[in-house]
Amino acid sequence: MNPGKIFKDGLLTNNPVLVQLLGMCSTMAITTSLFNGLGMGLSVTVILCCCNVCISLLRKLIPSTVRIAVYVVIIAGFVTIVDLLLQAFLPALSESLGVFIPLIVVNCIIIGRAEAFASRHSVGEALLDGLAQGLGYTAVLVIMSVVRELLGSGSFGAGVFNGGKGWQLFPAGYACSYLTLPFGGFMTLGCLIALVQFLRSKKGEAEK
């Protein structure tokens, strides 16, 4: 498989969230600000790359009857490492993502890629796939969190840009604060997936 196709798959045609509809919980729960979205996306990307490489290396040794259990243990190991690293070096991020960092263990994207890709391809391809799928996930999180942060509290990039303060584009009083609540998570993702379905049907028509 050529690298270009793997990347196109991960970012667009087979995006983990928008097309495969995996990893919904974290996508909706933590995208209240760009800081959270970017942090979560990059953490998952790192874990996904490590797990894919590790599982691809071991793919001939793991007996197929217990493979899911082995995958879960490998994933839980890497998640624990990332969790401890974040607690040590980025306590603010670790604090605001809370229980959703350890919950990456049960994120379907990682076990899904292990089963569907890493267990059948070489190490290099598995690493690229992990990177591509992780960046695809990160891209969705970034889009959602920018929309929700901007419309929900009127700011952009708080905690990331401008020395951690971000920019207040309009006063928070005029913002629709409902978008930062759980309701906004469901709505934003619903509209985003609808947009993708719309674009795909347009493309399908154009090809006919």
Partner 1 sequence: MLTKLISISLSAILVENFIFSKFLGICPFLGVSKKMDTALCMGLAVTFVMTLASAVCWGVNLLLVRLELAYMQTLAFILVIASLVQFVELFLRKKSPALYRSLGIYLPLITTNCAVLGVVLLNVQESYGFLESVVYGITGGLGFLLAITLFSGVRERLDYSAEVPECFEGFPIALITAGLIALAFMGFSGLKMV
Q: Which residues of this chain interact with partner 1, rule CB under 8 A? A: 21-22, 24-26, 28-29, 69, 72-73, 76-77, 79-80, 83-84, 98-99, 102-103, 105-108, 111, 178, 181-187, 189-191, 193-195, 197-198, 201
SS3 101: coil
Residue 180 CB, nearest approach to partner 1 (Å): 12
CA dihedral 82, 29, 179, 14 (to 10 degrees): 90
DSSP code string of 155-205: EE-TTTSGGGT-EE-S-GGGS-GGGGSHHHHHHHHHHHHHHHHHHHHHHHH
Residue 114 CB, nearest approach to partner 1 (Å): 12
Alpha carbon distance 105, 98 (integer Å): 14
The residue among 123 and 143 lying less far from partner 1, judged by its C-beta, is: 143
Nearest residue to 140 (alpha-carbon basis) of 27, 46, 51? 27
The residue among 123 and 193 lying less far from partner 1, judged by its C-beta, is: 193
Alpha carbon distance 74, 55 (integer Å): 8
The residue among 134 and 184 lying less far from partner 1, judged by its C-beta, is: 184
Residue 36 CB, nearest approach to partner 1 (Å): 13
**Amino acid letter, residue 69:** A
The residue among 119 and 166 lying less far from partner 1, judged by its C-beta, is: 119
Residue 103 CB, nearest approach to partner 1 (Å): 5
Residue 26 CB, nearest approach to partner 1 (Å): 8
The residue among 21 and 92 lying less far from partner 1, judged by its C-beta, is: 21
